[in-house]
Amino acid sequence: MSPLTNALISYWHRLPAESPAARRRSLDALRERIRAGLEPRAAVLPYAIGDVDDGIVVGATRCYLTADGLPAAACATDDAITECADWVRRGLALNRGAVFGALLGLGDERACESLASSRLGLSAAEVETACRALGSVPGERATAFLREWLALLGDSALPRERRALVALLDGEPRARAA
């Protein structure tokens, strides 16, 4: 088995016994060790791929993609962006919507291009999660991506997806989009 597979299995054994708050504290401590150079960024992969909590997945994905103190788009590598987009496309992440939102939130053209083919394959719940993960004020590139996505949906039979996108673009409170 690969080291990542072993790490995921170990992580999943802990999941039922640890609350989301405990996992967030564990992730925060891990991010500090990564900042200090004591752990590789890849150490957050079980949190990004194997957790279901939106905040944990978004935080771990952002940590994997970026370096502290640098603009996100300046430090996310093509390989990391492609890898995260692949988690969404291939259904490798348990919380695809949170990974999608974290990646789109980079405000990076490469990320938008990587996610374009996956946006119509997300479930309504995943679209709502991605919108929550973006926060109340998505950046310029993310907003353009969302407008294109909404145009692709047109008058389709996907009302929940449309509502989530419209609510985010109109700046409505997050509770209405969920």
Q: List pLDDT tens digits, range 73-117.
A: 445 688 889 999 999 999 999 999 999 999 999 988 999 999 999
Number of domains in the chain: 1
pTM above 0.75, yes or no: yes
Diameter over CA atoms, the chain:
51
Q: Please give the backbone phi and psi of residue 67, each rounded to the nearest 5 degrees, phi first.
A: -110, 135
pLDDT level of residue 156 (50, 70, 90 thresholds): confident
CA–CA gap between residue 117 and residue 152 (Å, rounded): 11
Domain range spanning residue 69? Answer: 3-177
**Residue closest to 150 by CA, chosen among 166, 136, 174:** 166
DSSP per-residue letters across 6-37: HHHHHHHHHGGGS-HHHHHHHHHHHHHHHHTT
Rounded average pLDDT over 24-48: 94
What is the amino acid identity at position 131?
C
